[in-house]
Structure formats: C-alpha cells, structure tokens
Amino acid sequence: MKVGCYIGGIYPRSDRLIEATRRNPPNLSEISRRDKERVINLQIKAGLTYISDPLLDWSDMLRPYLAFKGVEQGALNRIFEQNTFYRMPIVVDRVEWVEPITLRSLSIDLLPKGRDWKVDLPDPYTFAQLSDNRYYLDKRDLVLDLAKAMGREAETLQKHFRFIQINAPSICRIRSREELDLASEALKTVTKGLSAKTYLHLYFGDPAPILSDLLSFPVNGLGLDLVNVKLPKGLRFGKMGLAAGCVDAGNTKMEKPKKVAEEVKRVVDAIEPSELYICPNYDLEYVPRAYANRKVLTLSKIAKLLREEMGG
C-alpha cells in the first residue's frame, strides 16, 4: 500500500514573525516570506509527500474568503473547543465568487519545483455552519452557493496543486440524513471534474456515527483524528483513502513513532483503505513552533516505519 505524509492548515508563526507582525516594520512581508521558506524547507527535509504553503499570514481558515461577494466580517468566535478565535463571516447578500482568493493568499513562488504541492480549502457546509446567515431564508441555498464559490476556487487551484485538503470539522457533528445529503451535494459541486486528489478532513468532533455514510462522499479520501476518535468496528474503506491524523496537534507531548505506527497499522488492517497518508489530526498552529517542527519530523518517521512494514 502506498504510504504518504503531509501537513495541513495553518502552521504556527515563529516568535520572530509574531514580534515583527506586532511592530509592523516596512520589511514585514520579507520576514514573513523567510519564515514560510523555513517551514517549506522543513517539509522537504522531512520528506513529506506533498508540500504546502504554511499559511503563516492567514488569521484563520475562513478569513480570506470574507472576500466572497455577499460576505462581511463579523465578531470573534471560538473555533470549536479551542482557545483560538476566528472572525465569523456574516452573510448579508447572495454569495458569489468574483475572482480567485486562495491563489492570491498563497506564496506559490516559494513552493519547490519538481515536488507535488498541496492546498487547503474550507468545506462549504462547514463555512455555512460557522457563519452568521442574515440573508438566505433556507440554509440549503447558502451551502450550495458557497459550494459554487468554493468550486470556482478549486478549479483555479488544480492547475497548481495535486492535492486539495477540504477542511470539514462541522460535518463531524451531522446526525441527520438531510444534512448529510446537503454536505455531500455541496462537496460534489466543489470536487466535480477536478484532476487534483481531494481529501475531506474531519476533526474537532466525532464522525464515528456517520462514517459509513461518509464513505460514499465525493472525495478520494477521509482525514480522521485518530488521537481522539475511536473508529467503529466492521468498517471497510474500499476505494476511499485514509489520512491518519495520528500526530496530536493539541498537545506538546511527543509521540513515540514506533508505538503510533503500530496503532495505525492496526487501523489500516481493520478498515483496509485504498491508500494511506500520515498527518497531524488538525492544524499544527495549536502547538508552539518548536513543537510543531518536531511533530513534522515525527510524522515523517511514522510514515517511514509504515512504509517499511507495509511496503508502500
């Protein structure tokens, strides 16, 4: 089985960048780019399968998309059960895509030539759940308009990126057929016709009760938080790939690669995914930079052990 590894979402800023952003010197963007280069070089050194922009200049995962027509910036709100906050999007008019947003919010010129690149996108259902809808009478219409807008984003991204991680924490909490169908329909709009590989990442909640339904979602794989979630017995992934979130982005305690590799192997043997990626359970920005760096190297070691074991 093929075993890859990657990181996703927002990476922690270095102390230097935090301090520089506070002071806002004229060369701030240069300091930020140098910091990004360090994280990109770390990913290369660690041998990650896909290299991504660490999004050091993003304030939260939804912030760039406040530029969608019809969306404004709202109050600070807690990101699920984290002590980190995002600006809640306020939907004040029909949501429409106007121009590429993700692409202009990345530093793709820093990404290494000759390597495969990866990018993050918010899932439309999650975006709607985390927004304050003051326009649409029916949430379904909002989700589907967001899906169209995200679909346009995905289209522009696939020219550059081989892998799109779709972040969908709100889907973990769905417990009704109607909502599941809505989330799936929205994703279909985003992923339809894409050549890039798409993985739906589920974290900040327990998707176990709906996992069998998620196996038919229109993506190539599921990213699961194996640190906090126990998978139900009897599940078979079949054509679906697994991104095993087995490195804890919520704690500084360092994983023991051999022990984690054994645990992941047990999961893989049980659910038989089509392919396997090793990753953190969510964005590493929830631990300080030095610990995040060590965790990147740790996940690389876990992937190496699994490759040796599974021949990927």
Partner 1 sequence: MNKLYPTQEIGSLKKPEWFLKIIRDKRVSEEAKKAARDDLAYLNIRLLEDCGLDYVYDGEARRPEMYEYVVKNVGGFRLAGWVRSFDNRYYRKARVVDRVTYLGPYHLDEFVFVAKHARRMVKIPVTGPYTLADWSYNEYYRSKEDLVFDLAKNIIRPLLKDLASAGAKVIQIDEPAATTHPGETSLFVEAFNEAVAGVDAKITVHICYSGNQYRPLFPEALDMKCSQFTLEFANRDTTRLGLDKESRVGYQALNLFREYGDRREVGVGVVDVHVDSVEPPELIRDRILYAAKVLEDPKRVYVNPDCGLRTRSRSVAFAKLRNLCLGSELARSADPVS
Contacting positions for partner 1 (CB under 8 A): 12-13, 15, 18, 21-22, 59-60, 75-78, 81-87, 251-253, 285-291
Q: Are 278 and 246 in contact (CB under 8 A)?
A: yes
**Coil, helix or strand for 206?**
coil
Cα distance between residue 282 and residue 248, in whole Å? 8
Q: How far apart are the first and last CA of the chain?
A: 5
Measured from the CB atom, is 83 or 176 closer to partner 1? Answer: 83
One DSSP character per residue, 244-308 reads: EEEE-TT--SPP-HHHHHHHHHHHHHHH--SSEEEEESS-GGGS-HHHHHHHHHHHHHHHHHHHH
25 C-beta neighbours (distance < 10 Å), count = 12
Measured from the CB atom, is 5 or 91 closer to partner 1? Answer: 91
Task: Scan for tokens 């052990």, then name that residue.
Answer: 305
Measured from the CB atom, is 12 or 207 closer to partner 1? Answer: 12
Q: How many helices (DSSP H) and strands (DSSP E) are in the chain?
A: 8, 11
Angle at the Cα of 267 from the Cα atoms of 298 and 198, rounded to 5 degrees:
75
Cα distance between residue 145 and residue 129, in whole Å? 13
Measured from the CB atom, is 217 or 291 closer to partner 1? Answer: 291
Q: Smallest gap, in angstroms, from Cβ of residue 260 to partner 1?
A: 16
Q: Smallest gap, in angstroms, from Cβ of residue 13 to partner 1?
A: 8
Q: Smallest gap, in angstroms, from Cβ of residue 99 to partner 1?
A: 24
Q: Smallest gap, in angstroms, from Cβ of residue 190 to partner 1?
A: 26
Measured from the CB atom, is 36 or 289 closer to partner 1? Answer: 289
Q: Smallest gap, in angstroms, from Cβ of residue 249 to partner 1?
A: 11
Measured from the CB atom, is 39 or 268 closer to partner 1? Answer: 39
Hey, which residues does 277 pair with through a beta bridge? Answer: 4, 243
Q: Smallest gap, in angstroms, from Cβ of residue 125 to partner 1?
A: 18
Structure tokens at 49: 């399968």
Q: Smallest gap, in angstroms, from Cβ of residue 74 to partner 1?
A: 9
Cα distance between residue 186 and residue 154, in whole Å? 13
Measured from the CB atom, is 117 or 127 closer to partner 1? Answer: 127
Measured from the CB atom, is 4 or 205 closer to partner 1? Answer: 205
Taking Cα atoms as reference points, which of 60, 66, 74 lies closest to residue 134?
Answer: 74
Q: Smallest gap, in angstroms, from Cβ of residue 86 to partner 1?
A: 7
**Coil, helix or strand for 201?**
strand
